[in-house]
Amino acid sequence: MTNVRILQILLLDIGLLATLYLGWRVARIYAPKLRLALRAVAPWSVVAVGLYVFGVWTCLQPMQMRGLPNALF
Amino acid sequence: MALALLAVFATQFAKGDGGVVLLHEAGGPFSVTVFLSPEVTRGEHTDVSVLVQSRTNGDVVLNADVWLTIEPSRNLVARIGTESLCGAPPASVMSPSAYQAQQEGTFPATREQASNKLLYAAALNMNGTGDRRLHINVSRESDSAEFDCLIPAIQASADTRGLWLFLLIPFIAIAAFALNQKLRKHSLEQETDLGLFGWAPAGLGEAGKNFRRKPQKIAAPSAST
């Protein structure tokens, strides 16, 4: 069970890093300065990290608790 | 996205009756149905509601005394073996002294505590680990009956020990990438035509160039034309 959970986390890690990298590369196309590129990619990075955290939290829930709104609080 | 958020959070304010039927059994002169909150979490209060009906004609009994007892079920399950979720009273398989010792508490279920006044309700706290056995005692005047159920407990969250390293991997990688970009800052800022993967596809490269190009002044058309 722990191995499955580690695999889930690793897949989420890969997804987050790929998302951030692609976002960065796209931002670099349109912004020559690093600071401008960072500002361009920041909003999408926040969304990606938020989805990552939500995914990790979901994976840490027991199967019976997934999808239950009351589990949020 | 807004619809998904609404679907998740709006249910907090819904007034629906979300209990699941844990037990429906006839015993003595009564027929009892036990409703339980859909999720039973360790360390939190769980609503338990009991509908008491007459066994003969199905009328709802409103003047009964209902007592709920919650107790660990580990020893009982071990002794009973392949017993189903709801079965024989625990007193039949345990000595009275052991039974008393393992009792965590007895609570009255009353109609005042129930939102549906046909039911007898109580809020039970599921402390400890593992499943719990719910013992229901129903009495009215000289009639009484006892029922038992197993309440499967769900742990609130999984053990996160050992996962921290894997949770830190993205942030370590981000920090390393940021350091790399900072060290290569001068050379990176000269790479104006890089494409998505480090090479320059014709369309994207040209689009990048045009985007970065300063706006040109367009000469006004001459009057002679």
| Tens-digit pLDDT string for chain B (225 aa) | 777 777 766 666 665 556 778 888 898 899 999 888 766 656 667 788 899 999 888 888 888 899 988 887 654 443 333 333 444 444 444 444 444 444 457 888 888 888 788 889 888 776 666 677 888 999 988 888 999 888 776 655 556 667 888 889 999 999 999 888 888 876 766 655 454 445 444 445 555 454 544 545 556 666 555
B-proximal residues of A, 35-64, CB under 8 Å:
52, 56, 60-62, 64
Q: How far apart are CA A13 and CA A55, in angstroms?
A: 10
Mean pLDDT of the residues in chain A = 84
Residue B37 near residue B46 (C-beta atoms within 8 A): yes
Class (C level, CATH) for B18-151:
mainly beta
Chain A contact present for B171, CB below 8 A: no
Partners of B59 in the beta sheet? Answer: none
Residue B153 near residue B131 (C-beta atoms within 8 A): yes
pLDDT value of residue B154: 60
Mutate: best of B13, B151, B174, partner A, most A CBs <10 A: B174
Please calculate the CA angle B120-B156-B39 and round it to the nearest 5 degrees.
30
Residue ranges of alpha helices (H) inside chain B are 2-9, 74-80, 96-102, 164-183, 185-190, 202-212
> What's CA B22's distance to the chain center, in Å?
17
Report the gap between the CA of B187 and the closest CA in chain A (Å).
Answer: 11
CB contact under 8 A, B196 and A72: no
- Annotate B10-70 with DSSP letters as a single string: GGGG------EEEEEEEETTEEEEEEE-S--BTTSEEEEEEEEEETTT-PBP-S-EEEEEE
CB contact under 8 A, A29 and B9: no
Tokens linked to B77? 């399950």
Closest CA to B166 of A5, A18, A51, A49: A5
Contacts of B162 in chain A (CB under 8 A): 2, 6
Domain total of chain A:
1
Q: Is the pLDDT confidence value at A54 over 80?
A: yes
pLDDT band at A6 (very low <50, low <70, confident <90, very high): confident
pLDDT band at A63 (very low <50, low <70, confident <90, very high): low
pLDDT value of residue A11: 94
pLDDT value of residue A17: 95
Tokens linked to B82? 């392949």
CB contact under 8 A, B166 and A9: yes
| Domain ranges across chain B | 18-151, 164-209
Domain that includes residue A53, residue range: 2-72
pTM equals 0.45
